[in-house]
Amino acid sequence: MRATLSRLSIVLFFCTSILVHAATNPSWTTPIAPFRIADNLYYVGSQDLASYLVVTSQGNILINANLVTSPPQIRASVEKLGFRWQDIRVLLNSQAHGDHMAGAAEVVRETHAKNMVMDGDVSVVETGARTDFLSPSPNIPIYTPVHVDRVLHDGDTVSLGDVTLTAHKTAGHTRGCTTWTMRSHLPGEPAGTIRNIVIVGGVGFWSEFHFVATPSHPVSYPGIVQDFQHTFVVLRALPCDVFLGAHGGYFDMLTKLKHYPQDGSRVFIDPAGYKDFVADAQQTFEQALRKQQAAALR
């Protein structure tokens, strides 16, 4: 199913969305009824800040704790689905920005889940965003630091019970931005049909991101351009049937949910939309890079 909105407009929106404080972005805090995506994968986030519950035979995995105010909403969704909050054994994340990580300390305190973070984002998480490459910045709110129990590296897997997720380092948006993949069966599909699921970590940037050094400022961090370029190589190569992301807007979730009562989880099968999203994100980055390179020559 193709998204009805332009993928480029979605990417451009999320290039600037973090500049809007949560208090003025109600989609970040407005609850939405949780729903099932695959046999062992559920959505438990808000209208736009995505959180995912992965259910296994040995306890559960939560992807993204979101805002500092988000854990009660996420917990309510988990329990509405009939699962126990205390059964969360592992906490994963998409990136170290506060809209995905600020609630982590509370989740860990309440569930004692093991906090696993991609290298590149570890110091940011353990300092509450104070070592983010854009900090100090009003667009990078600080949050309660949380200990990292396991440092992940590109290609590492996280296994619990009968489920395995793979961590793909898709850096640039943050140094350790992570795209998660897993394989699962979707309810209603023939037995034995297994789908490739991709949860995109982030591809956006805004005016504070500097890709080219000038006399007035250095690059945001050494290698940021190469990181973004590598990210698009990685994302283009991932097999994707079910397209998900750290924000519902990445995969046009609210529009797809309109068809969920009739079509069920199949509404999230969108390989064409995934390809469009990645292509438009890459084009947006390349245009910004060329613009900064041209400005540096003036």
* Phi, psi angle pair for 165, to nearest 5°: -115, 150
**Residue 23 pLDDT > 70:** no
Tell me the helices (H) and strands (E) count for the chain, helix number first. Answer: 9, 12
In this predicted model, what pLDDT tens digit does every residue of 232-290 receive, in sequence order? 999 999 999 999 999 999 999 999 999 999 999 999 999 999 999 999 999 999 999 99
Mean pLDDT over the full length of the chain: 93
Given a contact cutoff of 8 angstroms between Cβ atoms, the answer to whether 174 and 122 are in contact is no
Q: Count how many Cα atoms sit within 13 Å of the Cα of residue 227 in the half-sphere of its side chain.
A: 25
Q: What CATH class does 7-297 carry?
A: alpha beta
Give pLDDT, residue 297: 86
**Residue 3 pLDDT > 60:** no
Q: Which of 101, 245, 282, 95 is nearest to 171 (CA)?
A: 95
* DSSP reduced 3-state for 262: helix
Q: Where are the domains of the chain?
A: 7-297
Give pLDDT, residue 24: 56
pTM, full prediction: 0.93
Query: Nearest 5 degrees, angle CA 200-CA 127-CA 122?
Result: 45
Give pLDDT, residue 47: 96
**Residue 98 pLDDT > 80:** yes
